[in-house]
Amino acid sequence: MESELINPPLLPYLEKDLLRRAHTPNMTFRAFISVDVEVQSKLEEFWEKLKGSNAPMKLVELENIHMTLKFLGDTDEKLIDDIAGVMALSVESTEPFTVELKGTGAFPNLNYMKVIWVGLENAEGLVDIAKTLNRELEKLGFQKEKKGFRPHVTLARVKGARNKNRVQEILREYEKETFSSQRVECIRLKKSVLSGKGPTYTTVKEVKFPGT
């Protein structure tokens, strides 16, 4: 006597599940790799003066100020572990080091300001890390930066020329200022969520330097 089938065959259900997964869009997020900045009083003072200039600019919120090492843009969540692996590779022979936040300026120049920045000194370690990230992340499909990495901290993006002279005065006032020193011991993969109130940054992965 043939055995009786109690449950229906599973194959059609498996096929439907595979089909559903195949058509499920990949989840992406806006991402970058950076070092968070510990904002101290002198940097906050400079930030407040820029804000008080009433020039058309978008200031980076104090809690969001960071040193960008690599901008990734829209990133597939499935790549998070691979990106973390590249981050670990980029710091595998790096000891913790201290950078100085010193000096101010604007890209491309003071007469035509698009980005206002604070400079970074003793930042050779950041340059080396950024080079490795740029080279190795291209293998994961991320666009390779053609311009050389210039260590800096972005404070604001300028939207127009109103009160340009006042902004230039502020930049010249702080052009040789030492704002703070900061020990660098890790790098972070950050997620940026945009809203009407501005971006919110959260840490997705943190990679510490060896020995920390």
Task: Report the pLDDT value the prediction gives residue 15, as an integer from 0 to 100.
Answer: 53
Query: Catalytic one among 152, 188, 191, 205?
Result: 152
**C-alpha distances in Å from residue 189, one per residue of 15, 72, 82, 141, 185:** 36, 10, 12, 16, 14
pLDDT of 209 strictly over 90: yes
Kindly list the strands in the beta sheet with 28-36, ordered across the sheet, starting from the edge strand earlier in the chain. Answer: 66-76, 28-36, 186-193, 200-208
Task: Report the pLDDT value the prediction gives residue 135, as an integer from 0 to 100.
Answer: 97
The enclosing domain of 141 has a CATH number of: 3.90.1140.10
**N-term to C-term CA, the chain:** 70
Torsional class of 198: left (φ above 0), alpha (ψ -120 to 50), beta (otherwise): left
* Eight-class DSSP state of 111: S
pLDDT of 1 strictly over 90: no
pLDDT tier for residue 3 given thresholds of 50, 70 and 90? very low
Average pLDDT over residues 125-147: 96
Task: Report the pLDDT value the prediction gives residue 51, as an integer from 0 to 100.
Answer: 98
Does a structural domain hold residue 144?
Answer: yes
CA nearest to 97, candidates 135, 67, 56, 55: 67
Residue located via tokens 């993969």: 189
Does a structural domain hold residue 204?
Answer: yes
Task: Report the pLDDT value the prediction gives residue 4, as an integer from 0 to 100.
Answer: 43
Rounded CA-CA distance 73/189 in Å is 12
What range does the domain containing 50 cover?
28-208
Does a structural domain hold residue 132?
Answer: yes
Query: Catalytic one among 39, 66, 117, 156?
Result: 66
Does a structural domain hold residue 122?
Answer: yes
Is 152 one of the catalytic residues? yes
Is 66 one of the catalytic residues? yes
Task: Report the pLDDT value the prediction gives residue 140, as an integer from 0 to 100.
Answer: 97
Per the prediction, the chain carries an average pLDDT of 90
Does a structural domain hold residue 114?
Answer: yes
Other Cβ atoms less than 10 A from the Cβ of 189: the count is 22
Does a structural domain hold residue 164?
Answer: yes
Peptide bond into 96 cis (omega under 30): no
Task: Report the pLDDT value the prediction gives residue 104, as an integer from 0 to 100.
Answer: 98
Does a structural domain hold residue 148?
Answer: yes
pLDDT digits (tens, 9 = 90+) for 163-195: 999 999 999 999 999 999 999 999 999 999 988
Rounded CA-CA distance 184/127 in Å is 13
Average pLDDT over residues 117-125: 98
pLDDT digits (tens, 9 = 90+) for 8-58: 454 454 455 444 444 456 799 999 999 999 999 999 999 999 999 999 999
Does a structural domain hold residue 105?
Answer: yes
Residue located via tokens 């959260």: 202
pLDDT digits (tens, 9 = 90+) for 142-166: 999 988 899 999 999 999 999 999 9
**Count of structural domains within the chain:** 1
Residue located via tokens 């020039």: 55
Strand, coil or helix: 185? coil
